[in-house]
Amino acid sequence: MLLHIPNVLTPDEAAEFRRRLDGADWTDGRETVGAQGAKVKRNEQVPDNSPLKVELGAAVLAALKRCPLFFAAALPRKILPPRFNRYAGGGAYGFHVDGAVMKLATGEHLRSDLSCTLFLNDPGDYEGGRLIVSDTYGEHAIALPAGDAILYPSSSLHRVEPVTRGTRLASFFWIQSMVRDNDLRRMLFEMDTAIQKLTRDGADDNAVLQLTCVYHNLLRRWSET
């Protein structure tokens, strides 16, 4: 499931992120990938040990907490602290798949079920730089307004096109979901969305209650906590 999540950050918040990142201590993005990824990755990142990265990452997590669409779709159990990248001057990232297991600072491990890119500036600020996600339906090109995010399965092949003008800024992170299986997670999301619409439309209370019970019993059956 490929899902556009609008307005994770407000325009003012995105502008403040850009201002703070303008003075960041950027380093080679290949420092955080393995040998295969390093062959195709050409961008810059804020180092993991940077206080700015920690501060802005916490701000991203706080923004996600006020975003019910993200929670309904991802059903997050663990989130890798958000990172920040910059593409400019032809920077690109060729086709790759994200690592299946990642280590948290606590020593725990996170299984990457979902990947998320949070765009920090508008597509008009740069040329190229679209996120290309490949799945069984073909290739999907994504370039969203500042403050919007795209959520997609970490098992997907994906790449970032070369940025030939301007600079593309984004935050990115991975999620381990309470529901490992993408198809089961998608069905739960669709059921949750339908329940919310029925509630807004004034559907029969007993019918909505029955569907809500089914949703929670399926989540209870399929979740890993």
Q: Report the binding-site residues.
A: 96, 98, 158, 168
E strand or H helix that includes residue 134:
strand 131-135
DSSP conformational letter for 80? P
Question: Shortest CA distance to 50 belongs to which of 26, 79, 15, 31?
Answer: 26
Our measurement of the distance from residue 130's CA atom to the centroid of its chain's CA atoms, rounded to an integer in Å, reads 15
Tokens of 100: 């299946």
**What is d(CA 48, CA 109) in angstroms, rounded to the nearest whole number?**
16
Question: Shortest CA distance to 99 belongs to which of 168, 28, 148, 172?
Answer: 172
Dihedral sign for Cα 126, 10, 2, 40, please: positive
Tokens of 151: 């959520």
Dihedral sign for Cα 133, 135, 140, 146, please: negative
Say whether 210 sits in a helix, a strand or coil: helix
DSSP conformational letter for 29? G
Question: Shortest CA distance to 133 belongs to which of 191, 93, 106, 104?
Answer: 93
Annotated binding-site residue numbers for 2-oxoglutarate: 168
